[in-house]
Amino acid sequence: MASGELTSKDYITHHLTNWSVGEGFWTVHVDTLGWSIFMGLIFLFSFRAVAKTANAGVPTKWQCAVEMVVEFIDSTVKSTFHGKNPVIAPLALTIFVWVLLMNLLDLVPVDFIPWTAQQIGAAMGYDPHDVYMKAVPTTDLNMTIALALGVFILMIYYSIKMKGIGGFIKELTTQPFNTPWLYWFNFILEVVALLAKPLSLALRLFGNLYAGELIFILIAMTGLYQLPMHFVWAVFHLLVIPLQAFIFTILTVVYLSMAHEHH
């Protein structure tokens, strides 16, 4: 859909730029925030509708679908995490469905949402070239880092809660080499390992979705051949979308269960 007056570079840049408000650090990506909260609300309201009427009798079809997801998350959590914790399962459900819904926005044709936004912006008197709308929140590093940071905070919280500050520091310093003169080295290793967990969570999700989005944009510039190529890439991406949501969820559960374990 690259119109003649736009160069390829402009087209790509336009698609990869967020609708930003504010200056410096206090910039806010309105599109990322809006779409992610919109998706989160879709998740919460659709599931809440079931939760309100949930009973042990014959379920409705929508209840069956929701219960399948809940059951899936529940069995996944139970197979990985053996302690008792009322947070982990709802957390995993939230992450899975929310990330899945946000990733699914990637399957909306790449031009559809930005183009619609431009039309609305133009109608409201803005220059269409200045209207940015990057719909998929998980292609914004702020989104994925926020998720990973939330998980990281919980990891630290449960590590300290389960083992005490002393136990947590001990865990960071006394392994793998259990000799006092190597504690400083252990500490460096463990801190790197600890920080690698949320960082890998955030970057894996971001990288996969950003790359997928970028390839959709590149395919969109190939003219007539883009239709079969879009189809092939969308089918492939259809695997990536739930897979990434699931990987983020299961790794969250694994990291949190590691935080509960005593070494």
Residues near another protein, by CB under 8 A: 16, 18, 22, 24-29, 32-33, 36-37, 40, 43-44, 47-48, 50-52, 54-57, 59, 66-67, 70-71, 74, 86-87, 89-91, 93-94, 98, 137, 140-143, 145-147, 149-150
- Whole-angstrom distance, CA of residue 25 vs CA of residue 140: 15
The angle that helices 88-104 and 141-173 make with each other, rounded to 10 degrees, is 150
Tell me the residue length of the chain: 263
Q: How far is the CB of 89 from another protein (least distance, A)?
A: 6
* Residues whose CB falls within 8 Å of the CB of residue 37, separated by 6 or more in sequence, listed in order: none
| 208 counts as catalytic | yes
Answer for the pair 29, 142: CB distance below 8 angstroms, yes or no. Answer: yes
Give the active site residue among 20, 46, 85, 204.
Answer: 204
Give the active site residue among 85, 142, 200, 257.
Answer: 200
Q: How far is the CB of 50 from another protein (least distance, A)?
A: 6
Q: Which is nearer to another protein, 172 or 251 (CB)?
A: 251
Residue 257 burial (10 A CB sphere; 0-12, 13-18, 19+) = middle
Q: Which is nearer to another protein, 91 or 194 (CB)?
A: 91
Which one, of 15, 8, 218, 4, lies nearest residue 131 by Cα?
15
Q: How far is the CB of 236 from another protein (least distance, A)?
A: 24
Q: How far is the CB of 238 from another protein (least distance, A)?
A: 25
* Residues whose CB falls within 8 Å of the CB of residue 235, separated by 6 or more in sequence, listed in order: none
Q: From the CB of residue 71, how many other CB atoms can be counted at a distance below 10 Å?
A: 10
Residues designated catalytic: 200, 204, 208
